[in-house]
């Protein structure tokens, strides 16, 4: 009996040892295989993290590139302004525009110059209105149907000067219609207004880190009642220069670059009269960086005063069917404040203003040198101040 119990115990012990050995072997095999699975998933996880890191790196790189582009854009940010003289939407204009759109009025090449500029400004020598009566005893009176404001939009015009001797040809109702028409089209205006304050108001443009301001006034009105100081709405005038000089000084306190657009001079005279030179210097002494004129229906000369340019008249740009010679002024201001002035030569025939090239352009540049003081115009139209100029 004792031997039987010992034998049974021995069998159980052997079975237990065998079972334990099997379990130990299986556990080792599982542990042996487990690292393989762990490494595989770890590899997938690392790959995913690597891909995510690459994605993040690409996003970061794109962000850095975008920031760099923005910084580069800011560092090299230039403002381009383009100015033209008198614009009249009368018979020749209407015939051309109605027949072929704006490219029948201004050539595509010139239109591109306007639309690509950051700021485009012209003198609007008429009111937008179908109301009012023509001024009595005035030889020429102008107005245009408000629907033609589309032409200014197609030109890319941002701001117009209303300070001239034709804006009230059809009375205050027509002037009020002009304000409404321009406001409705999103085109700014200077030099006239419903109140004294509005007529003298500065048009401001912020570009990059710099602020640009635009003012306008007229030295030519047919009667005193057009002066906004006498009747409202009316025109901002500059007969003695004090009010405009004060406006310039105020504008300069909030702007880096101030442009003054003045209606003045004697019609068809290529040289400025004494009061033009005197007023221009007053404006520059008050803080103006650029003085531009219109009204004479012809080009007038250029000069620099204290390093600031005066373009006494840009002549006509859209005015009747024929313009013998004219020019558009392109001004480029760098982010650092360096300024370049370029004349774009032009003429009009058949009611369409076009850029001139070759010998015609060269003739205009040499003509501008002849009627100007202390300047040179390069073969590309760049206006340069002579070293011995003021």
Q: What is the pLDDT of residues 179-190, one digit of tens each?
A: 999 999 999 999
Please give the pLDDT value at position 103.
97
Kindly give the interhelix angle for 242-252 and 274-286, rounded to the nearest 10 degrees: 30
Q: In this structure, what token pair is assigned to residue 186?
A: 């999103």
Whether residue 273 sits in one domain with residue 247: yes
Q: What is the mean pLDDT of residues 213-238?
A: 98
Strands 79-87 and 316-318: parallel
Q: Which of 40, 75, 110 is the last residue of a domain?
A: 75
Q: What is the DSSP letter of 270?
A: S
Distance, CA of 23 to CA of 361 (rounded, Å): 102
Residue 212 has pLDDT above 50, yes or no: yes
pLDDT (mean) for 204-208: 95
Does residue 62 sit in the same domain as residue 193? no
Contact (Cβ atoms closer than 8 angstroms) between residue 262 and residue 279: yes
Question: Looking at the domain assignment, is residue 390 inside a domain?
Answer: no
Is the pLDDT score of 162 beyond 80?
yes
pLDDT at 389: 55
- Domain boundary residue, one of 31, 50, 75: 75
- Domain count for the chain, please give it: 2
CB count within 10 Å of CB 234 equals 24
What's the rounded mean pLDDT across residues 97-119? 98
Q: What is the pLDDT of the chain when averaged over all its residues? A: 86
Q: How far is CA 21 from CA 18, 24, 31, in A?
A: 5, 5, 15
Three-class SS string for 147-172? HHHHHHHHHCCCEEECCCCCCCCCHH
Q: What was the pLDDT predicted at 77?
A: 84
Q: Is the pLDDT of residue 283 over 60?
A: yes
pLDDT in tens, 89-99: 999 999 999 99
Measure CA of the first residue to CA of the last residue in the chain; give whole Å.
Answer: 137
If asked whether residues 264 and 179 sit together in one domain, one would say yes
Strand arrangement, sheet containing 257-263: 203-207, 210-218, 257-263, 290-294, 308-311, 302-305
What mean pLDDT comes out for the span 220-238?
A: 97
87 and 233 assigned to the same domain: yes
108 found inside a domain: yes
Q: What is the mean pLDDT of residues 329-333?
A: 98
Q: Is residue 115 part of a domain?
A: yes
| CB atoms near residue 101 (< 10 Å) | 12
The residue-averaged pLDDT of 127-144 equals 97
The H-or-E segment that residue 75 falls in is: helix 2-75
Q: Is residue 323 within 8 Å of 84, Cβ to Cβ?
A: no
276 pLDDT band, cuts 50/70/90, is very high
Taking a C-beta distance cutoff of 8 angstroms, is the pair 89, 350 a contact? no
Most confident of 32-41, 55-64, 237-246: 237-246
69 in the same domain as 95 = no
Read off the pLDDT of each residue in 319-336 and give the average, rounded to a whole number: 96
Q: Is the pLDDT of residue 255 over 90?
A: yes
For the chain, give the percent of residues with pLDDT over 90. 78
Residue 206 scores a pLDDT above 60: yes
Give me the pLDDT at residue 96, please. 98
Average pLDDT over residues 27-56: 37
Asked if 194 and 330 sit in the same domain, the reply is yes
Q: Residue 73: phi, psi to the nearest 5?
A: -60, -40
Residues 191 and 216 in one domain: yes
Contact 183, 142 (CB under 8 A): no
61/87 same-domain check:
no
Tell me the average pLDDT across 211-236.
98
Overall average pLDDT of the 225-231 stretch: 97
Whether 94 and 18 map to the same domain: the answer is no
pLDDT given for residue 91 in this prediction: 94
Looking at the structure, do residues 46 and 191 belong to the same domain, yes or no? Answer: no
Sign of the torsion formed by the C-alpha atoms of 339, 204, 264 and 83: positive
Rounded mean pLDDT, 204-228: 97
pLDDT at site 68: 27
pLDDT value of residue 46: 38
pLDDT surpassing 90 at residue 125: yes
Say which CATH number the domain at 292 has.
3.60.21.10
Q: Is the pLDDT of residue 71 over 80?
A: no
Spatial neighbors of 310 by CB under 8 A, at least 6 apart, are: 277, 280, 284, 291, 293, 302, 303, 304
Query: Is residue 354's pLDDT more than 60?
Result: yes
Domain endpoint, select from 30, 53, 75: 75
CA separation for the pair 257, 82 (Å, rounded) = 14
Judgement on whether residues 230 and 91 belong to the same structural domain of the protein = yes
The structure tokens 């993290």 sit at 49
Do 45 and 181 lie in one domain? The reply is: no
Peptide bond into 294 cis (omega under 30): no
Domain that holds residue 224: 79-385
Phi and psi at residue 310, to the nearest 5° = -125, 115
- Where does the pLDDT of residue 76 fall: very low under 50, low under 70, confident under 90, or very high at 90 and above? low
Radius of gyration of the chain, Cα coordinates, nearest whole angstrom: 38
Distance CA 224, CA 220 (A): 10
* Domain-embedded: residue 89: yes
Question: Residues 360, 323: contact at Cβ < 8 Å?
Answer: no
């Amino acid at each position: 009996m004792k031997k039987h119990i010992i034998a049974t115990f021995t069998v159980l012990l052997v079975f237990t040892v065998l079972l334990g050995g099997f379990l130990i072997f299986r556990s080792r095999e599982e542990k042996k295989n487990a690292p393989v699975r762990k490494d595989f998933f770890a590899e997938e996880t690392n790959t995913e993290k690597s891909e995510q890191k690459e994605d993040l790196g690409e996003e970061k790189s794109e962000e850095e590139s975008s920031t760099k582009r923005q910084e580069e854009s800011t560092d090299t940010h230039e403002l381009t302004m383009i100015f033209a003289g008198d614009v009249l939407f009368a018979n020749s204009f209407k015939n051309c525009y109605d027949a072929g759109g704006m490219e029948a009025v201004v050539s595509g090449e010139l239109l591109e110059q306007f639309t690509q500029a950051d700021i485009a400004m012209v003198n609007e020598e008429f009111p937008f209105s179908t109301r009012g009566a023509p001024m009595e005893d005035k030889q020429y009176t102008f107005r245009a149907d408000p629907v033609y404001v589309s032409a200014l939009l197609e030109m890319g015009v941002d701001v117009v000067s209303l300070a001239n001797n034709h804006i009230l040809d059809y009375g205050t109702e027509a002037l009020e219609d002009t304000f409404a028409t321009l406001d409705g089209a999103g085109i700014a205006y200077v030099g006239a207004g419903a109140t004294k304050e509005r007529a003298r108001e500065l048009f401001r443009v912020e570009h990059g880190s710099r602020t640009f301001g635009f003012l306008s006034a007229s030295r030519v009105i047919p009667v005193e009642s057009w002066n906004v100081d006498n009747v409202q709405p009316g025109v901002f005038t500059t007969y003695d220069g004090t009010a405009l000089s004060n406006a310039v000084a105020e504008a300069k306190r909030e702007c880096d670059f101030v442009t003054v657009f003045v209606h003045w001079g004697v019609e068809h005279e290529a040289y400025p009269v004494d009061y033009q030179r005197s007023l221009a210097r007053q404006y520059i002494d008050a803080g103006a960086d650029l003085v531009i004129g219109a009204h004479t229906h012809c080009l007038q000369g250029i000069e620099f005063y204290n390093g600031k340019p005066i373009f006494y008249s840009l002549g006509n740009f859209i005015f009747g069917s024929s313009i013998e010679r004219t020019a558009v002024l392109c001004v480029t201001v760098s982010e650092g404040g360096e300024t370049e002035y370029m004349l774009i030569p032009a003429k009009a025939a058949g009611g369409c203003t076009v850029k001139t090239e070759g010998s015609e352009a060269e003739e205009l540049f040499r003509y501008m040198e002849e009627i100007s003081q202390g300047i040179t115009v390069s073969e590309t139209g760049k206006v340069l101040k002579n070293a011995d100029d003021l």
